[in-house]
Amino acid sequence: MEPPEDLAKFCEAAKKLGAFESKIISTDNIVINDRTRLKCQYGCPFYGRYLTCPPFSPTPEQTRKLVDEYKWALLFKMRFSSAIREGVFEGEIHSIKNMAMLQKTAAELERQVFLSGYQSAFAMACGPCLLCDECTLQPGTCKNPSIARPAMESMGIDVATTAEKAGYKSKVYTSITDAVDIYGLVLIV
């Protein structure tokens, strides 16, 4: 089944906001599993440090229920140079500036989708929020509630497999000279 034609305008909106690529996907292609969130808990230095990450973000079980309420989503990819000195991971694979840009883009796309009549639009990003120097860690006290969105992986979404099902090639980054692809997702209808 093909997505409604009017959803294609959101792919163009994503590109205008800096997305490298974007496409409308069926929510049947969103892969949710418990082990993805487990990787956040055991292995990610940001676990428990941001309201957009576990244990504050929705669980995989909650995410399955949420995604089941939608039929279509906008998956967008942003590409960044990784040779930025403000790295937050060992090897400086991601940068604070890029992660904040992803949050802002996801939130703006959600806003545009909402204003187009899809009132239940909901955006997610990848990785920690990084909009603030330090997270309040108190639900209900976020300094950027209109922008901060949960990390897909924190909710149990297997981002790499979801991207591959959408036709994108997934890659493990091992060098600071690699360009980095990070994803955002907006549930539409």
Domain positions in the chain: 5-187
The enclosing H or E element of 169 equals none
148 touches 118 (CB < 8 A): no
Task: Look up residue 37 and give its two tokens.
Answer: 């969130």
Q: What pLDDT sits at residue 176?
A: 67
Q: What pLDDT sits at residue 99?
A: 85
Q: How far is CA 126 from CA 115, 119, 154, in A?
A: 23, 23, 8
Which residue's entry shows tokens 């399955």? Answer: 64
121 touches 186 (CB < 8 A): yes
Band of pLDDT at residue 93, cut at 50, 70 and 90: very low
Task: Look up residue 112 and give its two tokens.
Answer: 């545009």
Q: What pLDDT sits at residue 120?
A: 98
Considering only residues 187 and 94, tell me which one the structure prediction assigns the higher pLDDT: 187
**Does residue 80 register a pLDDT over 90?**
no
Give the sheet arrangement for strand 122-124, strand by strand: 21-26, 72-81, 179-187, 122-124
